[in-house]
Amino acid sequence: MARLLRPEDYTIGWVCALPVELAAAQEMLDEEHPDLERNPADNDENLYALGAIGGHNVAIVCLPAGCIGNNPAAAVATQMRATFKKIRFGLMVGIGGGVPSAEADVRLGDVVVSQPHGTLAGVVQYDAGDMTLSGFKRTGALNSPPQMLLAAVSRVRANELRGRSQLCEHIAKLGSISKFQRSKAGPDVLFEASYEHEGGQTCDKCNVARHEAREPRDSEEEVVTHYGTIASGNQVIKNAAVRDKLSVELAGVLCFEMEAAGLMNSFPCLVVRGVCDYADSHKNKRWQAYAAGTAAAYAKEVLLVIPPAEVAKSRTAEETIREASAKPTYCIPFLKNQYFVGRRHELAVLRQRLLVERDCQKMSIVGLGGTGKTQVALQFVYEVKEAQPEWSIFWVPAVSMESFEQACAGIAEAVGISQAADKEEDAKELVKAWLSASRAGRWMLVVDNADDPDVLFGTEQSQGIVDYLPESEQGVVMYTTRTLEVAVSLTRGDALELGAMDWQDAREFLSKSLIRTELLRDDTMTQKLLDELTCLPLAIAQAAAYLNRNRMSISKYLQLLRSTEQDLVHVMSRELRDDTRYKGSANAVAITWVVSFSQIRKHDAVAADLLGFISCVEWKAIPRTLLPSAESESRMEEAIGTLCGYSFLTRRDGDG
């Protein structure tokens, strides 16, 4: 009699959904072990068939009778992990509905194996998504099979090419049981996709003239293995038109089934399916036993090429899942700014709203170009990284759709859905789906430079960045923008307005930025400089860089600022090299304001004309009566609101 082993002696989990699949799996065992005396996990109601294949101790479990679909599969696998704590990975083995196509000559009895293909990880849940105005939008991203199993698949494929596959021998072992014999399955008939079943449990009444003509294989017993995407969902597909439509939408799937999507993120595994029908109206059960047998035979092939010693050295399934969910990911394009000072009140507001009270999930930092919005956001995310070590942090620029796509491709690679990284258009969708799912854990996303409404919200011709941003109770999104109108559209009233620095912080920032700090000994001259720069952080950083580079005094720099307009524009247009800012972006004060002016001119011509007028008069305390008139009072109010939104104007008390 075979020896009784402990639960911790089993390293491979094998999951199936139907009794016929369980029977096929048991027939593949080299030896069978006695049942466990009891399940050590309190809540485990599964019954296990135990045995060994190629030196691996294997625990086999079947879903409870009548319970099929992704959720029961996930529950069963979770309970299995609790009982067999040393299981390294699993195999999901059973039957599925094949998808014949010009690219894949899938036939009854063939085997389909989940393997990453294109942007998909080997299994896709075709019925997970949202119903939008433009139709059903598929969401969700599933994990790829473990690397060890994918390496084993490569070895099995090499054996196939060299004629060393033992698949036929394993299938022949099932021949001793009548139900699993190929002859019991009957003929392999594929009907035209447009031809519906005539009725009855068999196709005896169906028109043979509507068969699809296919080249005969060398042998009726030949079993071909196909590698690629398996579509998983909670509904049985019994319509050829639906089958083919879904396959096209998913860039070509090989079969449909109902359990794998429930396992991929809760049980690292490889999915193996024997094709028992064509997912059409002619579906019946005649091929189920034989197809279950071919799938079980392939699963045994995989285990036979994996050395047990290598499995023993690998992480357990529990460790793999725990590490994947617990390990945060950081995609922050800048180092922490060592020169950052001040903004204590603003950081405290962000901290209180997003981390302490958590009464909002989206906030905007609004301010004129150069006020330091990006730097405040950067300081805050490094505070979050230290205070909330379990949070992942991601950062995307919203300057253009292209820059956003590149950032999403980087995130996709960092979080392990790297199939999307070489196809940026798909990376946006996958990153959104991944961050929207609970397995992403807690996270913060910074959307920086969210200034252009067309880029953010899209146009009639194209979608905007907001269409690709995730929604999750576990996530926090923080925007930086120059315009209050955009901030209100993105986060309603949850906006933090950022103005100039106070004088003490501005002086400290200048001191940190200067090489020759002795320049600050003249308090009067320092005060004049900061007043001239209106304590604007970018202007201070640019002034310090200019003073460092040209080794001039503050008085000489002030003289340049106050001399001619040409000198002022030249000085304020000098680019600033800074590793806490985007390479290739405009870092000079004058240029950042030109960018803002271009946005205003694009969206509000009256506001642009008004700004042009204001730039020609004394800029402090401009009386309302001095402003040029507009076509209406409401239009003038909108124009003033636009300039206030970009922080070019500030209303005084009593101005209305």
Query: Using 50, 70 and 90 to split pLDDT, how confident is the model at 570?
Result: low
- Residue 271 pLDDT > 50: yes
Give me the pLDDT at residue 112, please. Answer: 98
- Residue 586 pLDDT > 50: no
Torsional class of 232: left (φ above 0), alpha (ψ -120 to 50), beta (otherwise): beta
d(CA 607, CA 615) in angstroms, rounded, equals: 12
Residues sharing a CB contact under 8 Å with residue 236, sequence separation 6 or more, in sequence order: 258, 283
Task: State the chain's mean pLDDT as an integer.
Answer: 84
**What average pLDDT does this structure show over 285-292?**
96
Q: Which of 64, 70, 66 is nearest to 127 (CA)?
A: 70
Q: Among 181-195, 243-257, 552-566, 573-587, whose mean pLDDT is lowest?
A: 573-587
Question: What DSSP line would sit under 86-99, residue for residue?
Answer: T--EEEEEEEEEE-
- Please report, in angstroms and rounded to a whole number, the separation of the first and last CA atoms in the chain: 93
Query: Is residue 484 one of the residues assigned to a domain?
Result: yes
Give me the pLDDT at residue 188, please. Answer: 92
Query: Using 50, 70 and 90 to split pLDDT, how confident is the model at 646?
Result: low
Q: State both tokens at 260.
A: 């794998």
Do both 511 and 632 map to the same domain? no
d(CA 370, CA 366) in angstroms, rounded, equals: 11
Q: Among 416-430, 452-466, 574-588, 637-651, whose mean pLDDT is lowest?
A: 574-588
Query: Is residue 147 one of the residues assigned to a domain?
Result: yes
* pLDDT one-digit tens code per residue, 126-165: 887 655 555 566 655 677 899 999 999 999 999 999 999 9
**What average pLDDT does this structure show over 531-554?**
78
Query: Is residue 386 one of the residues assigned to a domain?
Result: yes
Do both 382 and 407 map to the same domain? yes
More confident position, 178 or 536: 178
Query: Using 50, 70 and 90 to split pLDDT, how confident is the model at 12?
Result: very high
Do both 513 and 615 map to the same domain? no
Query: Using 50, 70 and 90 to split pLDDT, how confident is the model at 425?
Result: very low
Do both 160 and 48 map to the same domain? yes
- Residue 587 pLDDT > 60: no
**What average pLDDT does this structure show over 295-324?**
91
Give me the pLDDT at residue 609, please. Answer: 74
Residue 256 belongs to what H/E stretch?
strand 255-257
Do both 534 and 622 map to the same domain? no
* pLDDT one-digit tens code per residue, 316-330: 988 887 766 657 899
Do both 288 and 228 map to the same domain? yes
Give me the pLDDT at residue 569, please. Answer: 52
**With contact defined as beta carbons under 8 Å apart, do 180 and 293 qualify?**
yes
Q: Which of 210, 263, 253 is nearest to 74 (CA)?
A: 263
**With contact defined as beta carbons under 8 Å apart, do 195 and 241 qualify?**
no
CATH number of domain containing 444: 3.40.50.300
Domain ends where: 472, 497, 522? Answer: 497
Q: How many CB atoms within 10 Å of residue 279?
A: 28
Query: Is residue 634 one of the residues assigned to a domain?
Result: yes
Q: Is residue 497 classed exposed, middle or buried when 0-12, 13-18 and 19+ CB atoms within 10 A define those classes?
A: middle
* pLDDT one-digit tens code per residue, 473-522: 889 999 999 888 888 999 888 999 988 888 888 888 888 888 888 888 88
Question: Which of the given ranges, 109-118, 269-278, 446-455, 456-465, has the highest pLDDT on average?
Answer: 269-278
Judged by DSSP in three states, 486 sits in helix
**With contact defined as beta carbons under 8 Å apart, do 94 and 273 qualify?**
yes
**What average pLDDT does this structure show over 565-592?**
49
d(CA 357, CA 484) in angstroms, rounded, equals: 24
Do both 111 and 229 map to the same domain? yes
d(CA 450, CA 517) in angstroms, rounded, equals: 36
Q: State both tokens at 53.
A: 């294949």
More confident position, 22 or 334: 22
Give me the pLDDT at residue 365, please. Answer: 93
Query: Is residue 586 one of the residues assigned to a domain?
Result: no
Query: Is residue 579 one of the residues assigned to a domain?
Result: no
Torsional class of 342: left (φ above 0), alpha (ψ -120 to 50), beta (otherwise): left
d(CA 237, CA 234) in angstroms, rounded, equals: 9
Domain ends where: 447, 472, 497? Answer: 497
More confident position, 331 or 517: 331
Do both 319 and 336 map to the same domain? no
d(CA 453, CA 273) in angstroms, rounded, equals: 48
CATH number of domain containing 60: 3.40.50.1580
Give me the pLDDT at residue 258, please. Answer: 92
Do both 299 and 442 map to the same domain? no
Backbone phi, psi, residue 248, to 5°? -65, -45
**With contact defined as beta carbons under 8 Å apart, do 411 and 331 qualify?**
yes
- Residue 255 pLDDT > 60: yes
Q: Which of 373, 448, 370 is nearest to 407 (CA)?
A: 448
**What average pLDDT does this structure show over 10-14?**
97
Amino acid at 206: C
Do both 543 and 485 map to the same domain? no
Q: Which residue do the tokens 């340049």 mark?
A: 560
- Residue 573 pLDDT > 60: no
Residue 276 belongs to what H/E stretch?
strand 269-277
Q: Which of 285, 268, 312, 244 is nearest to 106 (CA)?
A: 244
- Residue 383 pLDDT > 90: yes
Query: Is residue 54 one of the residues assigned to a domain?
Result: yes
- Residue 252 pLDDT > 70: yes
* pLDDT one-digit tens code per residue, 173-231: 898 899 999 999 999 999 998 999 988 888 888 888 899 888 888 876 789 999 999 99
Query: Using 50, 70 and 90 to split pLDDT, how confident is the model at 585?
Result: very low
d(CA 365, CA 378) in angstroms, rounded, equals: 12
Do both 403 and 259 map to the same domain? no
**What average pLDDT does this structure show over 285-290?**
95
Q: Is residue 80 classed exposed, middle or buried when 0-12, 13-18 and 19+ CB atoms within 10 A define those classes?
A: buried
β-strand pairing of 56-62 with 12-16: parallel
Backbone phi, psi, residue 98, to 5°? -75, 155
* Number of domains the chain contains: 4
Give me the pLDDT at residue 591, please. Answer: 45
Q: Which residue do the tokens 């086999």 mark?
A: 60
d(CA 59, CA 14) in angstroms, rounded, equals: 6
Reported in sequence order, the residue ranges of 293-348 that DSSP labels E, i.e. its strands, are 330-331
Do both 613 and 465 map to the same domain? no
Judged by DSSP in three states, 65 sits in coil
Q: Which residue do the tokens 């690219």 mark?
A: 103
**What average pLDDT does this structure show over 342-355?**
90
Give me the pLDDT at residue 421, please. Answer: 37
Backbone phi, psi, residue 527, to 5°? -60, -45
Query: Is residue 113 one of the residues assigned to a domain?
Result: yes
Give me the pLDDT at residue 348, please. Answer: 93
Query: Using 50, 70 and 90 to split pLDDT, how confident is the model at 433?
Result: confident
Q: Among 242-256, 411-425, 506-520, 620-634, whose mean pLDDT is lowest?
A: 411-425
**With contact defined as beta carbons under 8 Å apart, do 172 and 291 qualify?**
no
Residue 235 is part of which domain span?
Answer: 7-323
Domain ends where: 573, 588, 620? Answer: 573
